[in-house]
Each structure stands twice: as structure tokens, then as C-alpha cells.
Amino acid sequence: MLIIGITGGTGSGKTTVVQQIIDQLPECDVAVISQDSYYKDTSHLTMEERVQINFDHPNSIDFALLEQHLKDLKAGKSIDQPVYSFINHNRTGETLKTEPKRVIIVEGILILTHPEVRDLFDIKIYVHADSDERLIRRLKRDIAERGRNLEEVLTRYQTTLKPMHQEFIDPTKEFADIIIPTNRYNTVAVDVIRSVIQKKLT
């Protein structure tokens, strides 16, 4: 089994890179795990309290569960990924069964901040994008998909997203095996990643 960690700032294009890699592999050989599924359960909090949570801080992630799930997959066991609602800021109570595959891709902004989880990755990829581009993408996504308004997104960007990126996310570049420094489709980088995957799998 090959476990690949793909990180980068919010709106950097991680999902696009993940899809590009998936497109190069047989569907039966790959599974994707999102860090977003591992936000801590907030059932004990009111909606007003949940809204105040800094979801861009490592403390918001249940890294213990993510670590255990990756170890289970590596041991050949299936896992039940939590399903998270960005509208309710909480887990839904549902789970998504994930079977062990030859390639497991873990995607998220904070996955390289946790040493025990980071050590489980065979390949670590950092996707870099200009801060203005990332903000624009975040605005479009949160308004269209997560029910946020413009003022809410901008306030969160200024008070949490930007400072958390500078403190926790950007420094994890030093742990990356590959940095993709582009906002566009990077065929060279994807080809390199595909070659590394094929070499390790064979």
C-alpha cells in the first residue's frame, strides 16, 4: 500500500491535483480520505459556539482517529470515515466505509502538521498557489457550497484563515517531497508523481 498526503492552503487546488492523480490510476486501486471528515465532533456545543471554532487550527482535527484509520487501512482493515456537514459545523452521524486499496490519498490543509500522521505518508505533496487566487476560490466555494455570505467569508479569512496559513500550513512545505508551484494544470508535476507512484507500486 502507498499512502500519499496532499496539502496546501485553502483554495490552492488540492482537489484538482487529487483528481489528476486519480485519473492516472485504475479506479479499483485508489481511495481518497479527506481531512475535513475528521473535524472533531461538536455535538456538545450550540450552533453559536460551533460557528466560533477556529477550523483552520490543528486542534480542530481529530488526528488520533485519522492516525488510527490509516494504520487500520495499512493493516488491511476497512474503516468507517465520519461524514461532516459544513452547514451544521458537525459530524452528521453517518459514516463512509472505505476499503484498503493499493493507493490511499489523504487530502487536507493541516495533514502535515501532525508528526504521527505525517510519518505514515510515503509521499508528501504541497500544492502552492498565490494568496489572492486562494481567497477568490474560497469565496466562490463557501458562498456556493457552504451557505456562507461574503462578509462572513472575508471576516474568517482575515481573522483565522490567513494567520493560520502563515503559522501552521505554509511552514509544512519543508516536509514535502514534491511542491507543485502553480495555479494551473501542471502536467509535468503530475507526470512526476505518477512515475513515483508506479515505481513504488512495482
pLDDT band at residue 33 using 50, 70 and 90 as cut-offs: very high
Give pLDDT tens digits for 122-164.
Answer: 999 999 877 767 677 777 777 777 767 777 777 777 778 888 9
The secondary structure of residue 58, as a DSSP letter, is G
Which of these CATH numbers, 3.30.565.10, 1.10.10.60, 3.40.50.300, 2.60.40.10, describes 2-190? Answer: 3.40.50.300
pLDDT at 169: 93
Give pLDDT tens digits for 105-130.
Answer: 999 999 999 999 999 999 999 998 77
Helix residue ranges per DSSP H, the chain? 14-22, 47-51, 63-74, 115-118, 131-145, 150-156, 162-164, 187-201
Written as nine digits, the cell of 156 is 474568517
The answer, as to whether pTM is greater than 0.75, is yes
CB atoms within 10 A of CB 10: 21
Higher-confidence residue of 192 and 94: namely 94
Whole-Å CA distances, 190 to 35, 110, 120, 150, 193? 21, 22, 21, 34, 5
Q: How far apart are CA 85 and CA 125, in angstroms?
A: 26
pLDDT at 184: 58
Q: How far apart are CA 168 and CA 171, in angstroms?
A: 6
pLDDT at 190: 80
pLDDT band at residue 168 using 50, 70 and 90 as cut-offs: very high
Domain coordinates in residue numbering, the chain = 2-190
